[in-house]
Chains A and B, each alone.
Chain A
Amino acid sequence: MSTAISAAAPTTLPLGKALNAGLRRALENDPKVVLLGEDIGKLGGVFRITDGLQKDFGPNRVIDTPLAESGIIGTAVGLAMRGYRPVCEIQFDGFIYPGFDQIVSQVAKLHYRTSGNVKMPITIRVPYGGGIGAIEHHSESPEGYFAATAGLRVVTCSNASDAQTMIQQAIASDDPVLFFEPKRRYWEKGQIDPAAETSPLHRARVVAPGTDVTVVAYGPLVTTALQAAKVAADEGRSVEVIDLRSISPLDVDTVAASVQRTGRLVITHEAPVFLGIGAEIAARIGERCFYHLEAPVARVGGFTVPYPPAKLEEHFLPDVDRILDAVDRTFTA
């Protein structure tokens, strides 16, 4: 068994490989960590995130399951009660719904329901979002459903360093964590920052400082937001980009501190705007920063339509231009 990442030497890895390294470390560090999901064994998962792990840790640690999402989550509940720390892989975002009841009725509530006697240290990994030209049910952003359920933590990584660190933090958490992986960023390389491990799982991070407007993004759109900030800078506008990282709990403090500096806020995510995470942030920033805001909070997200066919997704997904358009609106409002 080899550990791909050493804490001392900075390494560059694609986000997907960084997740694999994080999972490997978690399996090494705690014999109670078990992975379960469809095709995660010999195949290494359809995105190869679990590549090589069954070979090194055996079929009782990296378990190929029948094709049944409720079964995957429900058996994870029992394993957790037996003292294991299950990590479930849901193959694609749109496949999570058959497991929805086990997640929101059981995983989320058992700790509360049992007055804290039963812990649910379960991590549910979900490759999510669009931009890879997939067929239907393969490109959705269902994070809002889970963020709306008390008892769950919902996080998403946007870069290799966070991917490697956050997956380990999620597995180490005694709470259930929905871990959303931006599938279109799996192949994007990034440097693994050893210092990242000290950042708590629930904390948002300013990934690009700026003074004129705050853009909040998470998961796949952090890269897009950074690209927009660069274009804006060329046009003489200073954009501060925040990577939310955690969707539940929301780190409102970090966003509010930024808005108090910039006076303007744009929020972007792939999920439809209506009742999306952006709505929650806008409401809370309205409460906290009313007198600092120079303009209404702007949101850029998916439309109120089902995720469209691949040939239309470039119009559905927020891109640099739509983010810049929203930035402009906060200056002209």
Chain B
Amino acid sequence: MCPAATQSLSKDVPLFDTDEIVQLITETGQRRTHPDFSAWVEDIDLTELRALYEDLVVVRRIDAEATALQRQGELGLWAPLLGQEAAQVGSARALDPGDFVFASYREHGVAYCRDVDPTHMLRFWRGSTHSGWNPFDYNMTTPAIIVGAQALHATGYALGMQFDGSDGAAITYFGDGATSQGDISEAFGFAASFNAPVVFFCQNNQWAISEPVSLQSRVSIAARGRGFGVPSVRVDGNDVLAVIAVTRAALERAREGSGPTLIEAVTYRMGPHTTSDDPTRYRPAALDEEWKRKDPLDRIRALLDSAGAIDDTYLAAVQQRADDTAAALRRGCLETVEPEPMSLFDNVYAEPHPLVDEERRQFAAYLDSFEGTDA
């Protein structure tokens, strides 16, 4: 880390070969410079920072409302993102609309930045559908539960972009636990060999359900990428500005034909893995307290405050926007139109399939047999 503000900054794509944790806003909310990455966010002024802060607040509010809906029995499950807002918003705000996101299942903040209606995010967790939106409407996939599988999909998609001569990139999100999966290693290998324009974005939130990251890897996650020839960087995942900077630089590497990059966003899952999980069984409270001091919202708020860029009126307006979003989310969740029984058979295949058709007919006849009865 080089704090020398006087050093001239160049916007050359940096080498992603450091295990230092890139940080542009300190935990107490001070801007700091970085010789390689500051230039990538020099256009982000206080107005932009305020917009990012709003994103973080709204995303946290969506998450809290969804968690409440699960507790009230409206959702079967929810995977809270509390603590990971900056990693998600920062990386997603670095993307172009034409880039394609291959998400895992916790990327509600990314989905929000891709303009997915928050109500649609809930349908999956409610059990009303496996998706909730058309991936091609937002260039973002719907939740993937098998951890790591989507990194290969992103690599293949990026390969297709390369064949098409597109200047777009694919980005895939996964956690630290997923890096133990073979698919992540295979994706690194394929992407490096084919120079695919893909960004691997690992949210190292320290915990794979109850297992600490030290059980997944004896080296940094970033070091794992380098072993495959994928340039890698560690970034403070609770620093929205630093995350934007490294993601922009990695995307530029992809666009200019320099191939894949791995970003390890070092962050912390403040809540449970899902609403079914109980982190008090495996996680020392002191550790949670330690990470609370690194909260991604607090530090940007402190920065804006010290710059005189916020006041109570502004904060109240941001909160109102978050509450309105949450209210709409709740309304949308409760108004979800549940699928009809016969839709069970839809879309198993793209083309007619005689055995599925036969079962559809048989089940329809069975349901019809209840017509006019009380059953």
Contacts and interface: CB of A to CB of B under 8 A. Distances in A.
A78 interface: yes
Interface in B118-172: 129-131, 134-136, 142, 146, 149, 151-161, 163-164, 170
B189 A71 contact: yes
B160 A84 contact: yes
Interface stretch (B46-54, B56-64, B341-349): B341-349
B193 interface: yes
Contact of A79 (B131, B135, B159): B159
A86 to B, nearest CB: 8
Interface stretch (B21-29, B88-96, B217-225, B351-359): B351-359
A320 to B, nearest CB: 32
Contact of A75 (B156, B161, B164, B356): B156
B353 A74 contact: no
Contacts of B353: 153, 175, 202, 249
Interface residues of A, number: 50
Interface stretch (A1-9, A108-116, A307-315): A108-116
B182 interface: yes
B350 interface: yes
A151 interface: yes
Given A71-B189, A151-B348, A175-B351, A82 B134 contact: no
A95 B6 CA distance: 58
A105 B147 CA distance: 11
Contact of B156 (A77, A118, A173): A77
B187 interface: yes
B298 interface: no
A79 B196 CA distance: 12
Name the residue in A75, A78, A121, A253 with the highest tally of chain B Cβ atoms < 10 Å from its Cβ: A78
A157 interface: no
A101 interface: yes
Interface stretch (A60-68, A158-166, A233-241): A60-68
B65 interface: no
A78 B160 contact: yes
Contacts of A120: 350
A119 interface: yes
B354 A68 contact: no
Interface residues of B, number: 42
B186 interface: yes
Contact of B153 (A65, A77, A115, A251): A77
Name the residue in B100, B130, B186, B348 with the highest tally of chain A Cβ atoms < 10 Å from its Cβ: B186
Contacts of A153: 349, 353
B131 A115 contact: yes
Interface string A16-51: 000000000000000000100000000000000000
A78 B349 contact: no
B112 interface: no
Contacts of B160: 78-79, 81-84
Nearest to B172: A78
B229 to A, nearest CB: 12
A248 B350 CA distance: 14
A113 B190 contact: no
Contacts of A68: 182, 186, 189-190
Given A82-B160, A106-B146, A174-B350, A74 B135 contact: no
A118 B141 CA distance: 10
Contacts of B134: 114-115, 117
B74 interface: no
12 contacts: A68-B186, A71-B152, A75-B156, A79-B156, A81-B157, A82-B164, A113-B142, A114-B134, A117-B134, A150-B356, A249-B356, A252-B355
Interface of B: 100, 102, 129-131, 134-136, 142, 146, 149, 151-161, 163-164, 170, 182-183, 186-187, 189-190, 193, 346-351, 353-356
Given A71-B187, A79-B159, A151-B348, 4 more contacts: A74-B153, A78-B159, A102-B183, A175-B351
